Amino acid sequence: MFNELSEKLEGVFARLRGRGVLTEADIKDGLREVRRVLLEADVNFQLTREFLEHVEKKAVGVAELRSVSPGHQLVKIVYDELTAMLGERREGLKLSSVPPTVVMLVGLQGSGKTTTAAKLALKLQKEQRQTRLIACDVYRPAAIDQLETLGNQLGVPVYAERDTQDVTRIARHGLDQARRARDRVVIVDTAGRLQIDDEMMAELERLKDAVKPDEILLVADGMTGQEAVRIAQGFDARLHLTGVILTKLDGDARGGAALSIYGVTKKPIKYIGVGEKADALEDFHPDRMAGRILQQGDIVSLVEKAQEAFDADEAKRLEKKVKKEGMDLADFLTAMKQIERLGPLEGVLKMLPGVNTKVLKQVKQTDPRRLKHLEAIVLSMTPAERKNPSILNGSRRARVAKGSGRPINEVNRLLDQFREMQKMMKKVAAAQGSGGKVRPGMFGGMM
């Protein structure tokens, strides 16, 4: 997400950073370029104007400071203003003091409400909040079936009634069941509708009166840009939204909806959908997103993702085994699978500071089935070969290549990577043995 926006902004700031001193004329020229970039990203015109006025007011002082790297200071000012435009601070789900917390999802048809409802339920379950889904999309064919299928896959109970289209009755009965089961959160999935459809919007108002939701979240397709903002305004006028979930941001290189929706509606973005997988729903942090847009990385989110993805027990077992016996190819494969759980490499790299869009484009071109190929190669080896790869001579490597269906050069490359990792593990062990201090040059040659 935001690839185009990040690349263009980086181009503007690279030119400004290259100058020892920034004059007021330099700043105005640079901000004129930023204005063009934001408008091309489909950011709201009025919001763009206000944003640039704030930046210019603060940046003039930077030009007068004549201090070290005024270009970097200007980037910091833009970062602060981007953060403010995106919502300033993280706003999580407002949980009721008396369970269950009721979350009502609304939006257009095709915005991804049903899948988002399931993703949000899974996320809450992982946070130890027992959650139930209520199927109130009674108009779209197979909508109830879809929600029940997703619920079964994720282990989330779903309440549904197939003999009525009275959504208020369904919601009340679902809430009664949730109270009996002592659920902590209930998510009501509603049918898609246009914000100008008076009859359908009136149905949502009746549903709101019936269940008295703690949160009314608009599920909006991030790829619709400014249209998402207009949709939010329409739904807010009738229902008084408490927040927004932006979906399909993994396919949105421009970012106009994310950058405009809070500034125009003052409704916080609470979550963003970044993929099709069940766990591809992230908390939205304005400051972290501003950092990603400006290619400053997002280490905090990366650490949080790693904590969720890694199996702590498996990691400890692997650590003990490697210390005692050294690493073999089976351990190497286990470690690679742990890393795969972080998600696509492109998404991980975006969270690292200083990784530009050119590097990301190169990574995007790599075969996403790479780990499957590595696994096929390792599993084509005998237990003895996995334990001691040094015995893999030419004929053995040819047999492994044939058994895995991969070319022999891939087998050789895997063995080279494994030897490099073994060397690194020995250096880490040596560092721990010397009091945990990593000596200069210890990891030389690994980058």
Give 4's pLDDT tier (boundaries 50, 70, 90): confident
- Give the pLDDT band of residue 361 (cuts 50, 70, 90): low
Alpha-carbon torsion angle 373, 377, 380, 385, nearest 10: -160
Identity of the highest mean pLDDT range in 18-32, 222-236, 248-262 = 222-236
- Fold agreement (101-284, 312-433): no
Looking at every residue in the chain, the average pLDDT score rounds to 81
Give yes or no for residue 213 having a pLDDT over 60: yes
Phi/psi region, residue 23 (left: phi>0; alpha: psi -120 to 50; beta: rest), is beta
Q: Which range, 87-101, 167-181, 301-315, 384-398, has the best average confidence (pLDDT)?
A: 167-181
Query: By C-alpha distance, which of 131, 135, 133 is closest to 182?
Result: 131
Instruction: Report the CATH superfamily, name and number, of domain 312-433.
Output: Signal recognition particle, SRP54 subunit, M-domain (1.10.260.30)
pLDDT surpasses 60 at 267: yes
pLDDT in tens, 380-402: 999 899 888 889 999 999 999 99
Q: Which of 250-259, 298-307, 365-374 has the lowest mean pLDDT?
A: 298-307
Distance of alpha carbon 217 from alpha carbon 269, whole angstroms: 9
Residue given tokens 């990691």 in the structure block: 315
pLDDT above 80 for 133 = yes
Largest CA distance in the chain: 74
Is the CATH code 3.40.1550.10 the one for domain 101-284?
no
Task: Output the pLDDT for position 5.
Answer: 80
The yes-or-no verdict on residue 43 having pLDDT over 60 is yes
Q: Where are the domains of the chain?
A: 3-86, 101-284, 312-433
* pLDDT (0 to 100) of residue 314: 63
14 versus 32: the higher-pLDDT residue is: 32
The yes-or-no verdict on residue 263 having pLDDT over 80 is yes
Whether the pLDDT of residue 297 is over 60: the answer is no
Query: Using an 8 Å Cβ cutoff, are 420 and 431 in contact?
Result: no
Q: Is the pLDDT of residue 348 over 70?
A: no
CATH fold of 3-86:
Four Helix Bundle (Hemerythrin (Met), subunit A) (1.20.120)
pTM summary value: 0.69
